[in-house]
Amino acid sequence: MDAVSALASKPIDPSRQSELKKVFNEFTAGTFYREMLAAMRKGTGKPAYFDGGQAEEIFRAELDRHIADDLVARHGEAFSGPLYENFSQQLLTAPRV
């Protein structure tokens, strides 16, 4: 049984639809933006003389997480909105088990 079939076996409570949409938005857009920032960091490389070592890597990881969270809050709906609509249509049309 795939994940969509498992979700489709139970009807979604309309009162929880906004909560589901928010979580879907945070997951899809958050994953996209975090991966985008990680790829950007890999492309820049480390400076020859001013590398901060492990502490700087931890700081950059936290900074990237905060930037990704901010991007999700500001622009996440534009990215995940069409994905959520497609997902919800699959839930509506999936056969009930």
Per-residue pLDDT of the chain (97 residues; tens, 9 = 90+): 465 555 556 666 777 788 888 888 888 888 999 999 999 988 887 777 887 788 888 999 999 999 999 998 898 888 888 888 888 888 777 676 6
User: How many domains is the chain partitioned into structurally?
Assistant: 1
Tell me if 83 sits within 8 A of 30, measured CB to CB: no
- Identify the domain containing residue 41 by its residue range: 3-93
CA 75 centroid distance within chain = 12
What's at 78, amino acid-wise?
A
SS3 content of the chain, % helix, strand, coil (to 5): 80, 0, 20
Quote the crossing angle between the two packed helices 17-44 and 53-93, to the nearest 10°: 140
Res 62: pLDDT: 94
pTM of the model: 0.68
Q: What is d(CA 54, CA 59) in angstroms, rounded to the nearest whole number?
A: 9
